[in-house]
């Protein structure tokens, strides 16, 4: 074990000096604020990606460089590929490899390139080694030395930063995993509990500190203790703001609205300092209640308390207030005012994941410019449409019409188009109302809510039921055409998995000859899997359509995860409504071979034995159409099987 750790440390040191001949990182010791340059020179002895590769991508596998994309394209500069970025004020550590299509460049099979961050004294910045230890689960998931290497990094982190709470807990988690005796595991667990309990005592009313406590219990696998932590805080510190927040969440579950509101009002009277988190959550619940009951004065009072502390979500808060007032059909002038407040800050609309750390504040994640632009446009158009609805209620017809027109020209967002169609319909422009909703239906033909309103508007200006049915048929054809076009772009063209571990429920092995030249649909499931059971009716409908086609083979495979072949046989007997053939898997590596870690998973193999489609998880009703389209594509492609 010592030798393996020593070898790992040598490899780590060598990596820090030179990530590889073909790949260089400058500066050698990255500090926050540095301009980082990654250069890849193809054609050298260790190069695995060809010099004529049409593109090259940095694929981050672990990263606290939150403002960078997980997949970052590199740019050609002469014969080399280069990427440049600034190490953020929050960056600690990252790992990555290079990829171009099927070609992958790593420094070793169980090692990725690394971006450790240093402080001004050339020492690894706090949490850098901790985060590197986390990254090892991605770099070397099957290594027998995984836990030992993690422990080595965590020990060094604690030498550098003895007060690092998370590293202390992580160290004990690793020791628990490495311990072979139950008494040792318990001893390490008890030590972790003491550290977590001490963290709670440091500041039991500070939300950020309590989050660290709950994180600690989650790290040691004791989720059930979270309720106990909340209970302790409420009992020991009932007047604390955090206690109010926790009590408000409990009160929110009260079914009788009058009792719920009375309890919230009583809780609010104890203290109501602007900006307190507990108070804000109470004000939010009371605002929504009073708006829905059309109590204008009280709803506006509580609305005014929802933005005392500025945050990246403030523009969205203004919009939500306007939207609630609008849907409740109260305070149109105030609803317009809140929409205007949101519009004045719409360029800062919250998009993507926004993290919050006490030491760094809010940290927006990377979002492509196109995605941000679309989100801002949709927010703008929704706000224009909210104003239009409220001007309509104020009998200001010209402003309502102008803003509805402006909304549908700004973006084709769902909220804006639905609101604008209501304005057009109220003004007697039913054809325009229908056309507005038709834009949505072309994007999503399965939107039943929009389809229902579209029918009302259509019949008001056309009156021909058969004409509307024809439009619906047009939508159905469009949906299949769109789904087919999208599905063709998702064809994987990967070598098919080896399936020698599959057997029938009679125990007979499935042979390659049984699948040869056929489209094979594999559905991996287990008897205990709820999403698998939800998926079954849709899967069975597709089976019924193709069951007599000799070129299509369905295999509903019990994955063997906590199931025996007898469990599968029993399930078949208990579910006679399903006629598809059921198989059992004896191969513990089937997930790795097919490419899944969760079930249900559907894999579709073409006539030539290539893996073409893979659906992981239950997607709902769309699964039926999607799987049908996948099979249809393969049946209609004459090149398949050649």
Exposed/middle/buried for residue 357 (C-beta within 10 Å: 0-12, 13-18, 19+): exposed
Question: pLDDT at position 267, please?
Answer: 86
Helices 430-443 + 465-488 axis angle, to 10: 30
* One CATH from 1.20.140.10, 3.30.1360.120, 3.40.30.10, 1.10.10.10 for 494-636: 3.40.30.10
SS3 for 413-482, per residue?
Answer: CHHHHHHHHHHHHHCCCHHHHHHHHHHHHHHCCCCHHHHHHHHHHHHHHCCCHHHHHHHHHHHHHHHHHH
Q: How far apart are CA 128 and CA 157, in angstroms?
A: 8
533-583, pLDDT tens digit by residue?
Answer: 999 999 999 999 999 999 999 999 998 778 899 999 999 999 999 999 999
Question: pLDDT at position 278, please?
Answer: 58
Q: How far apart are CA 620 and CA 376, in angstroms?
A: 29
Among residues 263, 331, 268, 320, the alpha carbon closest in space to that of 296 is found at 331
Question: pLDDT at position 171, please?
Answer: 98
**Is 65 in contact with 94 (CB distance < 8 Å)?**
yes
Question: pLDDT at position 17, please?
Answer: 41
Among residues 313, 349, 345, 366, the alpha carbon closest in space to that of 71 is found at 366
The Cβ-side half-sphere exposure at 611, using a 13 Å CA radius, reads 15
In the numeric block, which tokens belong to residue 250? 């409990």
**Is 264 in contact with 251 (CB distance < 8 Å)?**
yes
Neighbouring residues of 110: CB distance < 8 A, sequence distance ≥ 6: 139, 140, 142, 143
Question: pLDDT at position 506, please?
Answer: 94
Let me know the angle formed at the C-alpha of 404 by 401 and 405, rounded to the nearest 5 degrees: 85
Q: How far apart are CA 330 and CA 403, in angstroms?
A: 19
Domain spans, the chain: 2-162, 494-636
**Is 529 in contact with 496 (CB distance < 8 Å)?**
no
Low-confidence residues in the chain, pLDDT < 50: 5-7, 9-19, 274-276, 641-642
**Sequential DSSP letters for 361-415:** EEEEPP--HHHHHHHHHHHHHHHHHHHHHHHHHTT-HHHHHHHHHHHHHH---HH
Q: Which fold has domain 2-162?
A: Immunoglobulin-like (2.60.40)
Which DSSP helix (H) or strand (E) runs through 26?
strand 23-26
β-strands 519-525, 582-585 pairing: unpaired
Give the helix ranges, DSSP H, for 164-293. Answer: 165-178, 182-202, 207-219, 225-236, 241-251, 257-270, 277-292
Question: pLDDT at position 275, please?
Answer: 44
Query: Cα(first)–Cα(last) distance of the chain, in Å?
Result: 52
């Amino acid at each position: 074990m010592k030798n393996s750790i020593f070898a790992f440390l040598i490899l780590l040191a060598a990596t820090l000096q030179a990530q590889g001949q073909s790949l260089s990182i400058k500066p050698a010791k990255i500090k926050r604020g540095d301009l980082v340059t990654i250069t890849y020179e193809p054609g050298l002895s260790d190069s695995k990606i060809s010099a004529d590769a049409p593109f090259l991508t940095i694929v981050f596998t672990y990263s606290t460089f939150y403002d960078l994309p997980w997949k970052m394209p590199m740019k050609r500069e002469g014969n080399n590929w280069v990427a440049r970025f600034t190490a953020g004020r929050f960056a600690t550590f990252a790992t990555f490899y290079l990829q171009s299509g099927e070609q992958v460049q790593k420094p070793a099979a169980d090692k990725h390139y690394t971006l450790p961050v240093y402080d001004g004294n050339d020492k690894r910045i706090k949490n850098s080694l901790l985060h590197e230890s986390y990254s090892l689960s991605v770099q070397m998931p099957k290594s027998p030395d995984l836990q030992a290497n993690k422990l080595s990094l965590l020990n060094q982190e604690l030498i550098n930063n003895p007060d690092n709470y998370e590293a202390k807990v992580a160290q004990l988690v690793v020791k628990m995993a490495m311990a072979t005796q139950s008494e040792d595991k318990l001893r390490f667990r008890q030590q972790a509990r003491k550290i977590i309990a001490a963290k709670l005592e440091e500041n039991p009313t500070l939300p950020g500190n309590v989050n660290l406590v709950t994180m600690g219990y989650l790290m040691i696998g004791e989720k059930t203790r979270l309720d106990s932590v909340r209970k302790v805080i409420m009992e020991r510190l009932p007047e604390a703001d955090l206690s109010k927040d926790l009590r408000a969440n409990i009160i929110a579950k009260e079914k009788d609205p009058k009792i719920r509101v009375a309890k919230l009002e009583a809780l609010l009277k104890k203290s109501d300092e602007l900006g307190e988190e507990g108070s804000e959550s109470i004000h939010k619940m009371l605002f929504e209640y009073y708006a829905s009951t059309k109590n204008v004065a009280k709803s506006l009072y509580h609305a005014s308390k929802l933005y005392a502390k500025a945050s990246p979500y403030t523009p969205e808060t203004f919009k939500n207030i306007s939207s609630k007032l609008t849907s409740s059909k109260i305070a149109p002038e105030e609803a317009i005012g809140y929409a205007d407040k949101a519009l004045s800050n719409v360029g800062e609309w919250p998009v993507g994941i926004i993290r919050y750390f006490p030491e760094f504040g809010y940290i927006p994640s990377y979002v492509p410019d196109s995605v941000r632009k679309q989100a801002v446009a949709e927010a703008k158009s929704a706000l224009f449409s909210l104003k239009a609805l409220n001007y309509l209620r104020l009998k200001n017809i010209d402003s309502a019409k102008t803003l509805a027109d402006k909304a549908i020209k700004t973006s084709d967002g769902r909220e804006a188009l639905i609101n604008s169609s209501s304005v057009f319909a109220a003004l007697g422009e039913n054809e325009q109302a229908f056309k507005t909703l038709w834009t949505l239906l072309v994007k999503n033909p399965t939107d039943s809510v929009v389809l229902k309103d579209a029918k009302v508007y259509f019949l008001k200006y056309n009156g021909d039921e058969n004409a509307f049915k024809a439009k619906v048929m047009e939508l159905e054809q469009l949906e299949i055409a769109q789904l087919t076009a999208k599905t063709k772009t998702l064809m994987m063209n990967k070598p098919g998995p080896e399936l020698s571990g599959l057997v029938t429920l009679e125990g007979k092995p499935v042979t390659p000859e049984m699948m040869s030249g056929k489209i094979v649909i594999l559905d991996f499931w287990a008897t205990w899997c709820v999403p698998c059971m939800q998926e079954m009716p849709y899967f069975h409908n597709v089976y019924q359509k193709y069951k007599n086609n000799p070129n299509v083979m369905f295999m509903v495979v019990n994955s063997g995860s906590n199931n025996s072949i007898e469990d599968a046989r029993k399930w078949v007997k208990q579910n006679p409504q399903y006629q598809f053939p059921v198989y059992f898997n004896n191969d513990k590596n089937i997930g790795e071979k097919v490419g899944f870690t969760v079930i249900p998973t559907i894999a579709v193999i073409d006539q030539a034995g290539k893996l073409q489609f893979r659906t992981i998880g239950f997607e709902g009703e769309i699964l039926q159409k999607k799987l049908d389209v996948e099979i249809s594509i393969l049946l209609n492609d004459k090149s398949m099987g050649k």
